[in-house]
Amino acid sequence: MVDILTNQEFSDFAVEQIHNVDVATTHHGEPSAQVCDLLLNKNGKLYIATSSQNPFFKDLIKQPKVIVNDYKGNGTMDSCGFSIRGTIQNVGHEYIDEIF
């Protein structure tokens, strides 16, 4: 049986149950990825946080198109995986109080 989730339900699940995701972009035309925490689901958008001093931050700013991947579960038949294509936007410290 497959449960059908709304976008809101899926985003809540991703933040609350999966939390750690792989975020992939490019660095000088080569793949670049880092594990990030999904910290907030607000207004239909997922939010991560990283330091502006992190080299990956610079990759995200230069190439904001990303793929976010992860899964939850053990084994092929007992897991749920997902991939989301999206675009990163730097929101500065706008949601910092809600995240931390």
Name the CATH superfamily housing domain 7-91: Electron Transport, Fmn-binding Protein; Chain A (2.30.110.10)
- What pLDDT, on a 0 to 100 scale, did the predictor assign at position 2? 63
For 68, the token pair is 């976010």
- What pLDDT, on a 0 to 100 scale, did the predictor assign at position 77? 84
Nearest to 99 by CA among 60, 50, 61, 65: 50
User: From the first residue on, what is the mean pLDDT of each consecutive set of 10 residues in the chain (100 residues)?
Assistant: 80 91 94 94 92 93 95 86 94 89
Q: The whole model's pTM is what?
A: 0.84
- What pLDDT, on a 0 to 100 scale, did the predictor assign at position 1? 46
Q: How far is CA 65 from the centre of its chain?
A: 12
CA distance 99 to 59: 22
